[in-house]
Structures are given as C-alpha cells and as structure tokens.
Amino acid sequence: MTGAASAPASQFLSPAQSIVPSAGESWFDWDVNRAIKSRTLGTGGLEVSALGLGCMGLSYHRSSTLTRDEAIALIRDAVDLGVTFFDTAQTYGPFTNEQLVGDALAPVRDQVVVATKFGETDADGRPALSSRPELIRQTTDGSLARLGVDTIDLLYQHRVDPGTPIEEVAGTVGDLIAEGKVRHFGLSEAGASTIRRAHAVQAVTAVQSEYSLWWRQPESEVLPACAELGIGFVPYSPLGRGFLTGGIDEHTTFDSGDNRNQLPRFTVEARRANQALVERLRTIGERTGATPAQLALAWLLARAPWIVPIPGTTKASRLEENLRAADVELTRDDLAEIDSAASEVPIVGDRYPAELARRTNL
C-alpha cells in the first residue's frame, strides 16, 4: 500500500476569485489539430484534457443511444478534437460501456486516459453495492479485459460501501497500484470525511461528483477538502443531464430506459419551473456570444484549475459545442452574473429519489 503525502493545493475559488483568461486568451489553446489545453488531477501528475467525455450516455441510461459504430465514431471524433480523458464504469450496461470505450480507444490507447469505476456490480454484473477487497480484485480484472489494457489509468469507487471500511478499499486499490494494474485511485460521490480517511491510506487523485450551476452541494465541504489535499475534482452531469443546454423543456419526452424519468428534477412541473435558469443563461449568452451549455461549462472551468468536467453527448455537433466552451472569454463580471443567476433562481426538484440520494456524500 502506498501512503499519501499532503501537498500544497490551489484554494477553491469563490466567484469573486474565479480564474478568468487575460485579454486575447481563451481556456483552450486550439492548434491546427484543435488540441485542448490540459489540466492536472491530483499530486501524482495525471494530465488530462481540460474537458473530458462522459461515455455513459452513448449506450446506457439515455433516450438517444447510438449504434456501436456510431458511438465508436463519436469517441474517435472526441480524440481528433483533442479530448484525452474518457469516463466509463462497470455498471453502465453492465459492462457493455467499458467494452465500447475499450474498442473505440484501442488505436490511441497510449495517448488517452481512461477512468472506470467499481462497487455497484458483482463479478457477474448483478447489482451489488459492495467494495469487498476480493470483489474489487475480481471486477478490476474484468475491467482490464474489457478495456483491453494491462493498467487502468484511474479507478474510482463508484459509491461508498457502508459495509466495507474505506481504509480497506483504499488499501486494496493501493495494492493494485503496486501490482501495476491501476495507476491512480479515485472516489465518486464520497463525503469529505471519507475522502480524508481514504487519502490517508492511498493518495486520492480525483473525486468525481455531480456539480453544475444547478447542483452546488460539493462547494460546502468536498471542494475545500480537495483543495486542501491536492485532489482533482471531476464534475459529472456538468450540464444538468442535458437540461442546461436549453434542449430540454416541459414538452420533452424520454424513452422508457432513460433514468431521467425517475429523477424528481425532471418531472414536467420541475422542468417548467427550472427553465428560468436556462433563460437567464440564454440572456447572458446573447451578450457574450455563447450558448447556455458553453456558459455552464466555462463557469465550471473558472472555479479552479484542478476541475475537469466530463460532459456527455450522443451528437457530434454538441460535442464540438461543448469543447468550445473554454473558447468563451468571460470577464469577472460575466462570471459573477452567471453565479448570481444560479443563486437567485430556485431549482425545483431533488436531483435523486431518496433511495439513491442516501448512497451519496457518505
């Protein structure tokens, strides 16, 4: 097991302190190949593109899933546009999303960083909130095979297992790192206390959690803990599961397999009320020349230099729109206006039903 040494980290930034580009600069440095400026997660030097790609929706939990060939083409488009950070998980399918990502990235595997997650399925793919050491080992071997690699770049615990001490989880992943099967350890939807306990055993490179203009709970304890310990932060659903793009309203219907059907924030009444935030973003965008999605992502990028959002999409046009988010030059006044809009518009609906909410921030 590898011990974790504390290291100086950038402070979490308040809106007034947000980093903004200087005149004439942008968040992305686009060269002829449109390479994306990189950021570093954690103190172990894990370098990734400033925006990653969340791959779940390509084959799981969304209305507009793609054929295998279409999904592979979109992932490879992302590579061509400079994305080097790709996120999947064992439970997406289960297992099929990992296989898809592994196949898509096989030709460029040495040029990209792939993150996956354990702890929500057993070795046969059945639902199981378990991080028993022997199960971590079994499922990690499965992930290695599906991804077609000898080493997983970043391995997250998907959800905290109340039945297994986090020290045992961290120690097991530390052993996998020592064996060369894993490079970096991460936690998903963990609370600050859990993060600290895990980091004391094995350095945590990144914490993944939902974080966006309409879900800001990580700001209270988790982001300050990451800043203190030198841990990177990876917001999933940075566009509010698509709502902050402006492409969803009260009239939108979702396929039966789309998990947004079960989320209180996506009832018809909630969507009708929550349009107020999108309209505020649209108004700001008319002045800055950015779409609501680009403003939401640029706001996140400005929060701290160790934050790397992973928006997902099934559309090539949306992919490029998202990646151009950091091209948007936002002044401090722009950022403060976006922050105010998010603070002033009351968001209707919880992000998860009670049963799923109980499995977060542990």
Local structure of residue 58 (DSSP, 8 states): G
Report the candidate in 185, 169, 174, 94 with the shortest Cα–Cα distance to residue 131: 169
Q: Select which of 60, 92, 156, 211 is catalytic.
A: 92
**CA distance linking residue 196 with residue 174, whole number of Å:** 15
**CA distance linking residue 245 with residue 237, whole number of Å:** 11
Instruction: Please state, in angstroms and as integers, the Cα–Cα distance from residue 282 to each residue in 241, 327, 334, following that order.
Output: 17, 17, 13
Question: Would you state the torsion angle of the CA atoms of residues 62, 232, 306, 278, taken in this order, to the nearest 10 degrees?
Answer: 30
- DSSP per residue, 128-160: -----HHHHHHHHHHHHHHHT-SSEEEEEESS-
What is the distance in angstroms between the CA of the first residue and the CA of the last residue of the chain?
23
**CA distance linking residue 288 with residue 121, whole number of Å:** 44
**CA distance linking residue 33 with residue 173, whole number of Å:** 36
Residue 190: count other Cβ atoms within 10 Å of its Cβ. 26
Using CB atoms within 10 A of its CB, is residue 42 exposed (0-12), middle (13-18) or buried (19+)?
A: buried
Report the candidate in 207, 188, 198 with the shortest Cα–Cα distance to residue 120: 188
Please indicate whether residue 92 is annotated as part of the active site: yes
The SS3 assignment for 110 reads helix
At a CB cut-off of 8 Å and minimum separation 6, what does 105 contact? 75, 79, 86, 112, 114
**CA distance linking residue 322 with residue 294, whole number of Å:** 6
The SS3 assignment for 120 reads coil
The SS3 assignment for 182 reads strand
Question: Would you state the torsion angle of the CA atoms of residues 15, 9, 308, 297, taken in this order, to the nearest 10 degrees?
Answer: 10
Catalytic residues, by residue number, are: 92
